[in-house]
Amino acid sequence: MRIVSKVRSLFDSRTDQQAYDRQLLLVTFTLMAVGMVIVASASIPEGIALSDDPFRFLKRHLIYIFICLGVLAGVVCVQMEHWYKSQGLLLTLAFIGLLAVLVIGTEVNGSYRWLRLGPFNIQPSEFSKLAVVLFLAGYLSRRQQEVIDTIKGFIKPIIILSVFALLLLLQPDLGSTVVIVVIMMGMLFIADARLISFIGIGVSLLAVTVVLIVTSPYRMARVFGFLDPWADPFGRSYQLTQSLMAFGRGGWFGEGLGNSVQKLDYLPEAHTDFIMAILAEELGFVGVSVVIILEFILVYKAFNIGKKALQQNMVFSGYAAIGIAIWFAFQTGVNVGAASGIVPTKGLTLPLVSYGGSSLITIAIAVAILLRVDFERRQASSQVRITKIKAAKSKKPAEKTKEINAQKPDQKQEKTKAAEIINLYPKQEEIDETK
Encode pLDDT of 47-66 as tens digits: 888 888 888 899 999 999 99
CB neighbour list of residue 60: distance below 8 Å, 6 or more residues apart: 355, 357
pLDDT at 13 over 50: no
pLDDT attached to residue 294: 96
Answer yes or no: is pLDDT of 207 > 90: no
Which pLDDT does position 280 carry in this prediction?
93
Q: How many CB atoms lie within 10 A of CB 103?
A: 8
Determine the Cα–Cα distance for residues 88 and 131; give it in Å rounded to an integer.
9
Q: Which residue has the higher pLDDT, 271 or 218?
A: 271
Nearest residue to 354 (alpha-carbon basis) of 27, 15, 134, 35: 35
Residue predicted with more confidence, 57 or 117: 57
DSSP secondary structure string for all residues of 382-416: HHHHHHHHHHHHHHHHHHHHHHHHHHHHHHHHHHH
- What is the arithmetic mean of pLDDT over 172-200? 85
DSSP 19: S
pLDDT digits (tens, 9 = 90+) for 118-158: 777 888 999 999 999 999 999 999 888 888 888 888 888 88
Structure confidence at residue 285 as a pLDDT band (50, 70, 90): very high
H or E element at residue 111: strand 111-117
Q: Is 296 domain-assigned?
A: yes
- Number of separate domains in the chain: 1
Is 295's pLDDT higher than 90?
yes
Residue 111 region by backbone torsions, left for phi larger than 0, else alpha for psi between -120 and 50, else beta: beta
Residue type, 194: R
Q: Which residues contact 414 (CB under 8 A, 6 or more apart)?
A: none
Specify the pLDDT at position 435.
45
Determine the Cα angle at 15 with ends 11 and 21, to 5°.
80
Residue 43 has pLDDT above 70, yes or no: yes
Query: Is 409 a domain residue?
Result: no
Radius of gyration of the chain (CA): 32
CB neighbour list of residue 73: distance below 8 Å, 6 or more residues apart: 368
Q: Measured between alpha carbons, how far is 319 from 313 in angstroms, rounded to an integer?
A: 11
Q: For the residues of 352-387, what is the DSSP string, one character each?
A: TTSS-HHHHHHHHHHHHHHHHHHHHHHHHHHHHHHH
Contact 396, 99 (CB under 8 A): no
* Of 322 and 400, the one with more pLDDT: 322
pLDDT of residue 400: 57
Task: Quickly state the pLDDT bin for 309 (edges 50, 70, 90).
Answer: very high
Residue 13 lies in a domain: no
What pLDDT is stored for residue 346 in this prediction?
Answer: 78
In a domain, residue 48? The reply is: yes
39 — pLDDT class (breaks 50, 70, 90): very high
Longest Cα pair distance anywhere in the chain, in angstroms? 138
Range with lowest mean pLDDT among 96-105, 269-278, 371-380, 419-428? 419-428
Look up residue 123 and give its DSSP letter.
-
8 A C-beta contact, residue 171 and residue 125:
yes
For 393-419, write each residue's pLDDT tens digit. 666 555 555 655 555 555 555 555 545
Element (H, E) at 35: helix 22-42
Whether residue 120 is contained in a domain is answered as: yes
pLDDT of residue 10: 47
Q: How confident is the model at residue 391 (pLDDT cuts 50, 70, 90)?
A: low
Domain that holds residue 49: 20-382
